[in-house]
Chain A
Amino acid sequence: MEDIKILDAVERYIRGEMNPDERLHFENLRKTNAEIDLLVVEHTLFLQQMNRFGEWKKFRSSLNDVHTQLTEQGKIDSTRLKGKAKVVYLFNRYKRVAAIAAVIAGVTTISLSALVWSVSPKPPSSADYLELSRKVDAAKTKTDRLENDLAVVKSEKSSKPSIAYKTVGTGFFIDASGLMITNAHVVKNSRNISVFNEKGDKFNAIVLKLDINRDVAIIKIDDENFKQFSTLPYGISKNSADVAEPIFTLGYPRDEIVYGEGYMSAKTGNNGDTLSCQIAIPADPGNSGGPVFNKKGEVIGVLSAKKTNAESAVFAVQSKYIYKALEELKTNALYKKVKLSSKSSVAGLSKVQQVKKIQDFVFMVKGD
């Protein structure tokens, strides 16, 4: 109670709200009591910082307002330029994809025409005519049937989006735009990859990079329903964790997100592999590809494999490998700008709060 009154007095003193008598009294107190003097100095610094911070924040948000307003009034070019530049931007963005698509299309066309040429009937002799027409008839019915089948398959596909998934694992975001990390074995043989958030919403994803050796895959959500995040609550650590450091993981061994905690067992993985590490944590197949966090809420690894003959030996790929893998991905013009953060905004929170913030960014990954 006493402390509150003192602080209250200090604040009123700093703001100059004291009357002259009180002020004199307080200044005397300040001279005789070093603790109070220190508190005044410290609190002045703090309040100044707070004030400046407040103004800075206000100015920042006012800039955004001004930007929107001026754009709406057409006083700055923001949107118009966007429209004009968009074509160029899209061209730059997709020129690689377009080139690849063109090559594929070209190859397909050539091989198809070669195929058609090789199987197309040589000019028939008249005796073959009847036979041939029957054959054509037969072929036609066959095609019809095929077309019907195809239609059925198509309608099934569109009405029932449920794909028969063969692999299930966990994945987590490494940037706000929708890049995720998971295990390579979860997605390597899949044609369709879907990811599900904790609420069960489904998004389609594509594989950008597979490293079978490391068992790490970078995938990207490719779905118009996906809204980009503004930021991630956790960072990706560039350093290795220490032995005995407490760690935790989130994953989907079942349909619901499951929390597990343990500790770092060894800084290296199998046979002294320095890019992975050994951890002791409960892990089931669905945990594959899940993030491993330290107590600051920084990702220190990607859960990857369990040694079958030792119950508690689980291995994880160290997070610094994520940076390495991303560097390779950056050779692709589309992903040049991707930047990972190593800072975690949940660092000081309790475990419960951390998990609450993080769990929205850990998804279930399924492949067919």
Chain B
Amino acid sequence: MKDQIDEQALLKGLAISDKKAVETIYQENFNMVQSLIINNNGSSDDAKDVFQEAMIVLYEKARSGTFELNCQIKTFVYSVARRLWLKRLQQQNRFSATSDNLENLIPVENELEEHEKVNVEFELMEKALNNLGEPCKSLLEAYYLQKQNMHVIAANFGYTNADNAKNQKYKCLMRLKKIFFTDYKNGNDDGGY
């Protein structure tokens, strides 16, 4: 029972990306996933990739608030990582059946579908930002992601005052929104939703 409480606390920590929680989950699960990958034709770099991807799935799940812990974190991470790795192997046309005991697995298809969708959206945003070029990219990142104050931004980017910086930010934002929403719509059309 105590374990379960601990795990709940860990997930709560993870949801706010608390460093201690992330470290604990990382430390307790990485080696397990690594041996899974390495025993199935992967390298330790693959293991790192797949494990971190699984961590992000767990993170999203923890943040969504709908995660009812009806299994251990370990089981969840292992199931997700295994599924991700099988998928990768399939993409590379290397069908290989992993031999593991299936009792410890839970179905994670829905989570992965959700995760893929989110990934596509974030890739869109990343692409849109990259396509903006500089200084727009850094300017918007400073304001919207790092939440810096306009005065600080004006000073860092060499604008004479906050209003000038605001002006520039506005122009950049309009361009970003245009790119983002065009891609967003196109992406949704292509995806055939």
A67, B92: Cβ atoms under 8 Å? Answer: no
List residues of A whose CB falls within 8 A of some B CB: 3-4, 7-8, 42, 46-47, 49-60, 62-64, 66-67, 69-70, 75-78, 81-82, 85, 89, 330, 336-337, 339, 345, 347-349, 353
A-B pairs with beta carbons under 8 Å apart, 8 shown = A7-B173, A46-B177, A62-B17, A62-B19, A70-B26, A78-B44, A81-B44, A353-B133
CA distance A3 to B171 in the complex (A): 10
CA distance A324 to B144 in the complex (A): 44
Tell me which residues across on chain B come within 8 A of A345, comparing CB atoms: 127, 130
A63, B26: Cβ atoms under 8 Å? Answer: yes
**B side interface size, CB within 8 A:** 42
Tally of A-B Cβ pairs under 8 angstroms = 99
A77, B31: Cβ atoms under 8 Å? Answer: yes
CA distance A59 to B25 in the complex (A): 14
Given contacts A60-B56, A82-B44, contact A336 B19 (CB under 8 A): no
A337, B166: Cβ atoms under 8 Å? Answer: no
B25-71: which have CB < 8 Å to A? 26-27, 30-31, 34, 38, 43-44, 47-48, 52, 55-56, 59
B138-193: which have CB < 8 Å to A? 144-146, 166-167, 170, 173, 177, 179-181
A70, B30: Cβ atoms under 8 Å? Answer: yes
Q: Which residue in B23, B34, B93, B131 is a CB contact (below 8 Å) of A348?
A: B131
CA distance A354 to B105 in the complex (A): 46
B44, A8: Cβ atoms under 8 Å? Answer: no
Tell me which residues across on chain B come within 8 A of A77, comparing CB atoms: 30-31, 34
Considering the complex, give the chain B residue whose CB is closest to the CB of A82. B44
Given contacts A85-B38, A347-B131, contact A50 B144 (CB under 8 A): yes
Q: How far is the CB of B154 from chain A (nearest CB, A)?
A: 15
Interface flag for B94 (CB, 8 Å): yes
Q: How far is the CB of B117 from chain A (nearest CB, A)?
A: 12
Tell me which residues across on chain A come within 8 A of B180, comparing CB atoms: 46, 49
The residue among A62, A69, A76 with the most chain B CB atoms within 10 A of its own CB is A76
CA distance A82 to B56 in the complex (A): 24
Q: How far is the CB of A364 from chain B (nearest CB, A)?
A: 28
Considering the complex, give the chain B residue whose CB is closest to the CB of A67. B48
CA distance A67 to B22 in the complex (A): 10
Tell me which residues across on chain A come within 8 A of B179, comparing CB atoms: 348
9 nearest interchain CB pairs? Answer: A54-B145, A348-B131, A76-B30, A53-B125, A4-B170, A63-B52, A82-B44, A50-B144, A75-B27
Q: Which residue in B48, B56, B131 is a CB contact (below 8 Å) of A59?
A: B56
Tell me which residues across on chain A come within 8 A of B17, comparing CB atoms: 55, 58-59, 62
B167, A4: Cβ atoms under 8 Å? Answer: yes
Q: How far is the CB of B126 from chain A (nearest CB, A)?
A: 8
CA distance A62 to B38 in the complex (A): 24
Q: How far is the CB of B16 from chain A (nearest CB, A)?
A: 10
Considering the complex, give the chain B residue whose CB is closest to the CB of A59. B17
Interface flag for B95 (CB, 8 Å): no
CA distance A78 to B23 in the complex (A): 15
B1-34: which have CB < 8 Å to A? 17, 19, 22-23, 26-27, 30-31, 34
CA distance A311 to B130 in the complex (A): 40
Tell me which residues across on chain A come within 8 A of B47, comparing CB atoms: 78
A56, B22: Cβ atoms under 8 Å? Answer: no
Considering the complex, give the chain A residue whose CB is closest to the CB of B125. A53
Tell me which residues across on chain B come within 8 A of A46, comparing CB atoms: 177, 180-181
Tell me which residues across on chain A come within 8 A of B131, comparing CB atoms: 347-349
CA distance A7 to B170 in the complex (A): 8
Tell me which residues across on chain B come within 8 A of A54, comparing CB atoms: 144-146
Tell me which residues across on chain A come within 8 A of B23, comparing CB atoms: 66, 69-70
Tell me which residues across on chain B come within 8 A of A56, comparing CB atoms: 56, 118, 122
Tell me which residues across on chain A come within 8 A of B43, comparing CB atoms: 85, 89
Q: How far is the CB of B65 from chain A (nearest CB, A)?
A: 14
Given contacts A4-B167, A4-B170, A336-B92, contact A78 B26 (CB under 8 A): no
Tell me which residues across on chain B come within 8 A of A349, comparing CB atoms: 131, 133
Considering the complex, give the chain B residue whose CB is closest to the CB of A75. B27
Q: How far is the CB of B184 from chain A (nearest CB, A)?
A: 9
